[in-house]
Structure 1
Amino acid sequence: MGMPASGQGQPQPPAADQSYIFSYLVLDAPEKLSQEEMGTAMQGHFENMGKMAEAGDLLIAGPLAEPRIDPTYRGIFVFSTGDIDEGRALCATDPGVKAGVFKPEMYVITCDEPLGELTRLEKEYEQRRLDDPEIPDEWVGRMFILAIGPGDAEFEHTDTVLIDATMDRVDDDADTPRQLLWLDASSVDEAKLGFKADDLDAWSFYGWYGSPCVAELKDT
């Protein structure tokens, strides 16, 4: 954290917490679609993600990977809004949701990391890609690890932790709040190195594949 412009040596106040809508994309009834219908729905799914990202509504998206939470949990969205109704409306624009391929499972996540900066970081990355012939023309993602634990689970806040959020399920009052950590690690074994051995039993670790710009959050 930097010093204030006044140079008085006083630390800046901590960033204010902000809320965002996080949604799993869970398989609904894709078996009801023909191959052609599935192809149309998925093409629209990816096109719509691009539109939402360009509008600044979609901050994070990507498929879940091994180890999975559940085979039916296929991907995630994180929206710039923390409003539940707005989150529902954005999920409802997805052609995959409309066609019955996916159904959203929504949470409100709250953190002090500036997730809104991801829109800027993505545009800067795209410009670097266009300007630098050494960077592949096609978009290239990378693996991250998500760690989910009880609200009181212990962990060390090292540079590996890109996002440290509370996670509250929408439309399920019986669900208890949890912690969600987005980790700058490409495997569960690597992710676990940032935890004390006594703390590991409280956490579950899952794979996610997405934009390398998420790792740049620690430099904002």
Structure 2
Amino acid sequence: MKKLAFLLLLSVSAFAQENQTTYDEKLAKEVGADQYGMKTYVFCILKTGSNTTATKEERNKYFEGHMENINRLAKEGKLVVAGPFMKNDRNYRGIFIFNCSTVEEAQKLVATDPAVAAKIFEAELTPWYCSAALMKVSEIHDKISKTKI
């Protein structure tokens, strides 16, 4: 019985050592992490907007500008994650996660989107507290995507 208890203790100790991570202060500062490894972002849900009269050509122009704006904001480090929703019954079109801590700052960023300005999309913004590791998504995505948008 003592042997079994010793082996169990030894295996738990080994497992704990294998799963320990080392705090990286430099990385934490780089991504803006607080003591818990978290930070504040602004979460944006894009919904179908009130503009139902835009022609197909106008919509294409707005979507082209929408994609250009996404890429610009991402390169500037202001947009952490963006992506469309699949077809749904809530009129949700996509999300943005902004690297800022106030809704007011995010409103200025989302206002630069031509599709939002044209009311193709409506933006709903709220503060969001999440892992600061999210700041590394774009860097990792570049390494795993064969085709660039």
| Superposed pair shares fold, TM > 0.5 | yes
Residue 14 (structure 1) shift: 5.7
How do 1:179-198 residues align onto structure 2 when only pairs under 5 Å count? Answer: none
Cα RMSD, aligned residues only: 2.4
Equivalent position amino acid for 2:103 in 1: I
Q: Does 1:101 align with 2:120?
A: yes
Identity, % of aligned pairs?
Answer: 27
Structure with bigger helix share is 2
Find the partner of 1:47 among 50, 60, 68: 68
TM-score, length of structure 1 as denominator length: 0.49
State which of 81, 96, 118 in structure 2 corresponds to 1:60. Answer: 81
* Alpha-carbon distance in structure 2 between the residues aligned to 1:76 and 1:83: 17
Matched residue type, 1:75: G
Q: Distance in 1 between matches of 2:48 and 2:113?
A: 13
Structure 1 residue 54, shift from structure 2 partner: 0.8
Alignment pair present for 1:111 and 2:130: yes
The answer to whether the 8 Å contact 1:56/1:119 transfers is no
Q: Which has the greater radius of gyration?
A: 2
1:39/1:117 CA distance change after superposition, 3 Å? same
Structure possessing the higher relative contact order (Cα contacts under 8 Å, 6 or more residues apart): 2
Unaligned runs of 5+ in 2: 1-19, 25-33
- The corresponding residue for 1:24 is 45
Structure 1: stretches of 5+ with no match in the other structure: 6-12, 130-135, 141-220
Q: From the superposition, tell whether residues 29 and 110 of structure 1 become closer, same or farther in structure 2 (CA, over 3 Å).
A: same
Structure 1 residues 122-137: aligned runs within 5 Å: 122-123=141-142, 125=143, 136=146
Q: TM-score, normalised by structure 2?
A: 0.71
Corresponding residue for residue 89 of structure 1 = 108
Letter in 1 for 2:75: E
Matched residue, 2:59: 38
DSSP 3-state at the match of 1:65: coil
**2:130 aligned partner, one-letter code:** C
Partner amino acid for 1:120? E
Cα deviation digits, residues 94-149 of structure 1 (max 9, x gap)? 010011100101111102342222243244x1xx65xxxxxx4x248xxxxxxxxx
The structure with the largest strand share of the pair is 1
Contact 2:38 2:130 in 1 (8 A): yes
Q: How many residues align?
A: 121
**Deviation beyond 3 Å, 4+ runs, structure 1:** none
